[in-house]
Amino acid sequence: MTQERAHRAWRTAERIKRLSDRLVGVGPIGLGLDGVLAWIPGAGTAYSAVAGLLLMVQGFAGQASIATLARMAAYLVADTASSAVPVAGWAIDTLFPGHLMAAKALQKDIEARHGPSILPEDAVKAARKAARKKGRR
């Protein structure tokens, strides 16, 4: 049951990460709802806070370590706080992938605790493909 909850938390973090910061991506730069909504006063802050809360709930459900939860909280507070500042903060929020960073921290914690077998099959395949590609260089 613990692995099942961790698996669900990993997948939910993946969805939030893509929706928030990687709907459209070019290389390492991505844009998602968090960056777009940042330019609408109030909407960006509300979205950022709700998505951050969902990630934290998934962190607790996936039984992430205290250190991981603290790192996630730091990323999410920075992301949400920046969207509260007009114009300059909105620009920072557009470029700062706080949800993506928090989701990756959670996913790495889950992988370390439960092993790669907990990951969705397509993620395992992508990780193997990346490892093979790295080995060719």
Phi, psi for 119 (deg, rounded to 5): -75, 150
pLDDT digits 0-9 by tens, 25-59:
888 788 999 999 999 988 989 999 999 999 999 99
pLDDT of residue 85: 83
pLDDT of residue 4: 86
pLDDT of residue 122: 62
Record the pTM: 0.82
